[in-house]
C-alpha cells in the first residue's frame, strides 16, 4: 500500500509518498480555479496505478471563509437571540480606529430565524419547542434559496432534544444541517453559535471538493488532516469541516515536532513560510492546543494547534504606497499569475527579490524542472527602484527586510508576548521559502540555532502521513471542585470514553492502538476564562500550579470551578521511521559542490559556493556564505553562520558561528 500525504498551498501542492521502504516527493503548481485538479494529477503521477491511502491537508474550508465564498447560510436559534451572533463580545481589534466598521456577518439578519422553545441553564425544558414555528422558518429558508442551515439553541449541550427535533425537520429540506451540540458541546452561546455557523458556511464547498476527490480515488482510503494535529475520515470532514480550518499548518507543526525530537530538540519555534503566508508556532515539548482561536474575526471553538499566521510569503506583492513607502503583502501573487519569475506575473514579489539577489539558483529551482525568468525580474526591479530612488539591489534587500519584519513580529507574538525567551528555543524552518529567510530571522530574534529538515518544502505533507487519528470530545459540567463527588465526574468521562472507543473503532483503529487523554477546564470562581489541565488525582493542585505558571500567582482560599471535561481519543499510526544518512568528514564531498556565483549580502555581491544538499554527508560543515539547493526548497547560509549536517540529514545552523 502506497501512503501519500498531500498539502495544498496557495502556490504549490506538495506530495510525499511512502511505500514501506522508501520516500518520494513531488511538487506541482496549485490550481486555484479547482484545487482538486492539482491533487488528483499529483496522486496519479505518483501512484502509477498502485493502490493508495491518501491523507490530505486542505485549504478549501479556510479559503471559503477568508474569501467569503462559502454557502448561502441560514441560522435557526431561540426567539429573541437572533442577534447573539452579531453582537458578539466587547472586543475591539482596532481600538483607536474611529472609522472602523465590522464586515457584514456571514448570516444576514433576514436569514436568522428565532423559534419559541427554551431549555434552561440547568438543562430543564422551560418552554416546549414550537414545531409549527420551525416548519414556517424552514419554508422561509427554502424560499430564500439557502444552501446550508446552522442550528444553535440555548443550552443544547445540556439537553439536545430541541436541536435534534429541529434537525430532523430540517432534514426534509435536503440541505446540510449543522447542529451545535454535535459540533461543540460547550457553553458560551456566542462562540458555540459562531463555530456552528462557520461549519455550516463551509460545509457544502468542502463536501463538493472532498466528494470529487473520493469519487476519483474510488475505493482508496481518503483521510483529512484536522486543525488539532490528527486525521479524520473524509466523511467526518464533510460533516464537520470546521475541524479542518488549519489542517495544512497543523501538518507542518506535527512534522516539525517529529523531526526536531528525533534530532534531539524538544523546545522549538516552527517557521513555515510558503507562497502566500507564514505560519509560526511555539512547541515546548508538545503540540500547543487551544480552543480560543478566531478566523477572520469569527471564533472557532474547536481544539486546534495554536498557530499564528501572517500574510507574508514568497508570493507576497511588493509595491510602493501612496506616500512612496515600500509595502510587502499581505496580498499575494498566488499560483496564478504567480511571481514575475514564473513567467506570468507583473508585480514584484519576495521570490523575485530572492532571485534578483542570487539566493535562488534558476537552473536548480524545483530540481531544474521549472524555468525562472531572470531578465523579466531584473527589468521590473530596476523600474521600481527608480521610482523608489534606490539601487536595484537595495530595493530587493528592502523587500526582504520588510517581509522579515512581518514574520519577526509574528514570532514575537507567540514567544516574547507570552513570556517565552526565544533564545531558549531552536527555530525549525520549512516550507518552500523558509530556508531563504530563517537565519536572518533567527539573528533578529537572538535565536541561536536553526534546524532545517530534509525536504523542507513538503514537511507539512510529512506531518500528515505521520499524524495519528485524533478525536476530541467535550462536555460542560459547571461543577464545584471541592463539593462535586468525583464519581459523578468520572461518570461523565466514561460517557466520553465510550463515544471515543466507538468512533476510533469505526475509523478502523484496533483497541491496542487506542490512547485516551482526559483533560478539564478549571477556573477560580468569578473568572471569565479557564485553564486546561490534564485530569488526574488532584486536579485542583494541578490547576493552581498551571495558573501560577501562566499568570504568576495562585489563590489558596478561592473556590475552584470545573467548567468543561474533555477527552482526546488517539489512534496511533505506525509511522515510517527516520533513516540516518551516510557519514563523512567535516569537508563536503566533491560532487556536492555545484559551482560558485555572486550573491548579494548587505548590498555587496560575495562569491558564494552552491551545494547540492542531497550529496552532503553526516558531519559535513558548510560555513556561510553558501547556498544549498534541493528539489523542494533552497537554503541560504549567510556570512558568519555555520551549518552542520546531522546523522539524519538535517541542517543544524549556528547563526553566529564566530
Contacts of 654 (CB under 8 A, 6+ apart): 448, 449, 641, 642, 644
pLDDT reading at 334 higher than 70? yes
Sheet with 73-78, strands from edge to edge, namely: 112-115, 73-78, 148-151, 177-179
DSSP 246: T
Q: What percent of the chain has pLDDT over 90?
A: 69
Arithmetic mean of pLDDT over the chain: 91
Instruction: List the single range of 93-107, 306-320, 631-645 with lowest mean pLDDT.
Output: 93-107
Nearest to 193 by CA among 91, 84, 302: 84
Beta bridge partners of 78: 115
Instruction: List the single range of 21-35, 66-80, 170-184, 416-430 with lowest mean pLDDT.
Output: 21-35
Helical residues (DSSP H) of 48-130, grouped into ranges: 60-66, 84-87
Instruction: List the single range of 357-361, 469-473, 512-516, 573-577 with lowest mean pLDDT.
Output: 573-577
- Give the CATH number of domain 66-206; options: 3.30.70, 3.40.50, 1.20.120, 3.40.30: 3.40.50
Compute how many other C-beta atoms are within 10 angstroms of the C-beta atom of residue 91: 9
pLDDT of res. 90: 78
**E strand or H helix at 621, and its extent?**
strand 621-623
Nearest to 519 by CA among 479, 566, 480, 476: 566
Q: Give me the mean pLDDT over the 15-31 stretch.
A: 87
- Positive or negative, the CA dihedral 432, 435, 436, 437 is positive
DSSP codes of every residue in 623-657: ESSEEEE-SS-EEEE-TT-EEEE-TTS-EEEETT-
- What are 530's three cell numbers? 479557564
**Cα(552)–Cα(649) distance, rounded to whole angstroms?**
41
Q: Are 449 and 435 in contact (CB under 8 A)?
A: no
Q: What phi and psi values does residue 582 have, to the nearest 5 degrees?
A: -65, 150
160 alpha-carbon distance from chain centroid: 31
Listed in order, the ranges of the chain carrying CATH 3.30.1490 are: 468-571
pLDDT of res. 82: 93
Instruction: List the single range of 80-94, 449-463, 524-538 with lowest mean pLDDT.
Output: 80-94
Residue 338: strand, helix, or coil: coil
Instruction: List the single range of 32-41, 123-132, 245-254, 289-298 with lowest mean pLDDT.
Output: 289-298
Within 397-463, strands assigned E span 426-430, 449-452
Higher per-residue confidence, 651 vs 293: 651
**Cα(247)–Cα(304) distance, rounded to whole angstroms?**
9
**Cα(540)–Cα(425) distance, rounded to whole angstroms?**
30
pLDDT reading at 657 higher than 70? no
**Long-range residue pairs from 386-395, CB within 8 A, at least 24 positions apart, any chain:** 387/320, 387/324, 388/320, 388/324, 388/326, 391/603, 392/356, 393/356, 393/357, 393/600, 393/603, 393/605, 394/603, 395/326, 395/353
Residue 489: strand, helix, or coil: helix
- What are 324's three cell numbers? 512612496
Higher per-residue confidence, 535 vs 32: 535
pLDDT of res. 274: 86
Within 422-492, strands assigned E span 426-430, 449-452, 469-480
Listed in order, the ranges of the chain carrying CATH 3.40.50 are: 66-206
pTM of the model: 0.89
Q: Give me the mean pLDDT over the 394-419 stretch.
A: 93
Beta bridge partners of 583: 618
Residue 187: strand, helix, or coil: coil
pLDDT tens digit sequence for 45-54: 998 888 999 9
What band does 600 get if pLDDT is binned at 50, 70 and 90?
very high
Contacts of 220 (CB under 8 A, 6+ apart): 51, 52, 53, 54
Phi/psi-derived region of residue 547, left when phi > 0, alpha when psi is between -120 and 50, beta in every other case: alpha
Instruction: List the single range of 106-110, 153-157, 293-297, 634-638 with lowest mean pLDDT.
Output: 293-297
What band does 311 get if pLDDT is binned at 50, 70 and 90?
confident
**Cα(11)–Cα(349) distance, rounded to whole angstroms?**
13
DSSP codes of every residue in 464-480: HHHPPEEEEEEEEEEEE
pLDDT of res. 191: 93
**Cα(565)–Cα(282) distance, rounded to whole angstroms?**
25
- Positive or negative, the CA dihedral 534, 537, 540, 544 is negative
Residue keyed to cell 470546521: 242
**Cα(111)–Cα(217) distance, rounded to whole angstroms?**
37
Pairing type for strands 308-310 and 278-284 reads antiparallel
Helical residues (DSSP H) of 48-188, grouped into ranges: 60-66, 84-87, 131-144, 161-170, 180-183
pLDDT reading at 141 higher than 70? yes
Instruction: List the single range of 120-129, 291-300, 350-359 with lowest mean pLDDT.
Output: 291-300
- What are 336's three cell numbers? 496564478
Q: Give me the mean pLDDT over the 547-559 stretch.
A: 89
Compute how many other C-beta atoms are within 10 angstroms of the C-beta atom of residue 441: 27
Higher per-residue confidence, 556 vs 384: 384
Is CATH 3.30.1490 what the domain over 468-571 is classified as, yes or no? yes
Compute how many other C-beta atoms are within 10 angstroms of the C-beta atom of residue 309: 17
pLDDT of res. 658: 57
DSSP 343: T
Q: Are 251 and 266 in contact (CB under 8 A)?
A: no
Q: What percent of the chain has pLDDT over 70?
A: 100
**Cα(142)–Cα(410) distance, rounded to whole angstroms?**
44
Q: Give me the mean pLDDT over the 550-576 stretch.
A: 89
Q: Give me the mean pLDDT over the 429-445 stretch.
A: 95
pLDDT of res. 398: 95
pLDDT of res. 63: 79
pLDDT tens digit sequence for 339-371: 999 998 899 999 999 999 999 999 999 888 889
**Cα(387)–Cα(376) distance, rounded to whole angstroms?**
17
Compute how many other C-beta atoms are within 10 angstroms of the C-beta atom of residue 252: 32
pLDDT of res. 226: 92
Q: Are 10 and 276 in contact (CB under 8 A)?
A: yes
Beta bridge partners of 56: 6, 224
pLDDT reading at 11 higher than 80? no
Amino acid at each position: 500500500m502506497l501512503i501519500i500525504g498531500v498539502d495544498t498551498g496557495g502556490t504549490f501542492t506538495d506530495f510525499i509518498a511512502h511505500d514501506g521502504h522508501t520516500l518520494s516527493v513531488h511538487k506541482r503548481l496549485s490550481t486555484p480555479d479547482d484545487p482538486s485538479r492539482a491533487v488528483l494529477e499529483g496522486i496519479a503521477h505518483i501512484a502509477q496505478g498502485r493502490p493508495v491511502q491518501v491523507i490530505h491537508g486542505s485549504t478549501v474550508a479556510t479559503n471559503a471563509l477568508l474569501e467569503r465564498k462559502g454557502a448561502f447560510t441560514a441560522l435557526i436559534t431561540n426567539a429573541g437571540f437572533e442577534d447573539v451572533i452579531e453582537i458578539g463580545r466587547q472586543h475591539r481589534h482596532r481600538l483607536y480606529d474611529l472609522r472602523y466598521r465590522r464586515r457584514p456577518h456571514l448570516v444576514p439578519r433576514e436569514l436568522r430565524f428565532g423559534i419559541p422553545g427554551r431549555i434552561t441553564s440547568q438543562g430543564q425544558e422551560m418552554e416546549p419547542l414550537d414545531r409549527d414555528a420551525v416548519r414556517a422558518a424552514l419554508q422561509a429558508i427554502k424560499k430564500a434559496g439557502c444552501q446550508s442551515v446552522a442550528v444553535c439553541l440555548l443550552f443544547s449541550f445540556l439537553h439536545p432534544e430541541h436541536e435534534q427535533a429541529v434537525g430532523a425537520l430540517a432534514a426534509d429540506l435536503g440541505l446540510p444541517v449543522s447542529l451545535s451540540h454535535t459540533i461543540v458541546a460547550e457553553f458560551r452561546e456566542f462562540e458555540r453559535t459562531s463555530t456552528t455557523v462557520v461549519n455550516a458556511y463551509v460545509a457544502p464547498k468542502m463536501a463538493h471538493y472532498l466528494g470529487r476527490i473520493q469519487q476519483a480515488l474510488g475505493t482508496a482510503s481518503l483521510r483529512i488532516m484536522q486543525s488539532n494535529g490528527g486525521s479524520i475520515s473524509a466523511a467526518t470532514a464533510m460533516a464537520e469541516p470546521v475541524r479542518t480550518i488549519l489542517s495544512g499548518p497543523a501538518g507542518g507543526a506535527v512534522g516539525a515536532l517529529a523531526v526536531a525530537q528525533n534530532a534531539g530538540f524538544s523546545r522549538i519555534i516552527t517557521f513555515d513560510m510558503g507562497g502566500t503566508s507564514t505560519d509560526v508556532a511555539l512547541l515546548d515539548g508538545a503540540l500547543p492546543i487551544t480552543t480560543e482561536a478566531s478566523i477572520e474575526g469569527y471564533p472557532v471553538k474547536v481544539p486546534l494547534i495554536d498557530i499564528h499566521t501572517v500574510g507574508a510569503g514568497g508570493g507576497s506583492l511588493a509595491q510602493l504606497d501612496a506616500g512612496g513607502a515600500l509595502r510587502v503583502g499581505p496580498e499575494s501573487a498566488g499560483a496564478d499569475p504567480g511571481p514575475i519569475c514564473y513567467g506570468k506575473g507583473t508585480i514584484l514579489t519576495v521570490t523575485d527579490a530572492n532571485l534578483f539577489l542570487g539566493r535562488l539558483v534558476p537552473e536548480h529551482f524545483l530540481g531544474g524542472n521549472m524555468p525562472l525568468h531572470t531578465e523579466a525580474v531584473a527589468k521590473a526591479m530596476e523600474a521600481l527602484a527608480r521610482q523608489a530612488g534606490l539601487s536595484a539591489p537595495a530595493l530587493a534587500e528592502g523587500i526582504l527586510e520588510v517581509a522579515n519584519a512581518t514574520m519577526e513580529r509574528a514570532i514575537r507574538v507567540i514567544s516574547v508576548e507570552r513570556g517565552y525567551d526565544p533564545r531558549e528555543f531552536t527555530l525549525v524552518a520549512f516550507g518552500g521559502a523558509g530556508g531563504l529567510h530563517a537565519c536572518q530571522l533567527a539573528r533578529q530574534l537572538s535565536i541561536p540555532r536553526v534546524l532545517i529538515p530534509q525536504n523542507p518544502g513538503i514537511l507539512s505533507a510529512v506531518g500528515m502521513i505521520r499524524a495519528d487519528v485524533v478525536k476530541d470530545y467535550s462536555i460542560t459540567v459547571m461543577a464545584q471542585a471541592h463539593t462535586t463527588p468525583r464519581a459523578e465526574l468520572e461518570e461523565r468521562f466514561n460517557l466520553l470514553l465510550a463515544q471515543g472507543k466507538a468512533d476510533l473503532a469505526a475509523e478502523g483503529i484496533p483497541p491496542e492502538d487506542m490512547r485516551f487523554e482526559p483533560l478539564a477546564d478549571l477556573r477560580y470562581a468569578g473568572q471569565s476564562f479557564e485553564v486546561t489541565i490534564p485530569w488526574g488525582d488532584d486536579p485542583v493542585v494541578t490547576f493552581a500550579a498551571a495558573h501560577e505558571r501562566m499568570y504568576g500567582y495562585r489563590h489558596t482560599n478561592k473556590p475552584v470551578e470545573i467548567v468543561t471535561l474533555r477527552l482526546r481519543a488517539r489512534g496511533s499510526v505506525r509511522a515510517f521511521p527516520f533513516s540516518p544518512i551516510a557519514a563523512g568528514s567535516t569537508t563536503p564531498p566533491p560532487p556536492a559542490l555545484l559551482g560558485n556565483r555572486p550573491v548579494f549580502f548587505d548590498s555587496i555581491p560575495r562569491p558564494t559556493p552552491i551545494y547540492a544538499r542531497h550529496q552532503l554527508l553526516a558531519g559535513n560543515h558548510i560555513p556561510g556564505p553558501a547556498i544549498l539547493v534541493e528539489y523542494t526548497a533552497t537554503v541560504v547560509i549567510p556570512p558568519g553562520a555555520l551549518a552542520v549536517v546531522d546523522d539524519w540529514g538535517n541542517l543544524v545552523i549556528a547563526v553566529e558561528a564566530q
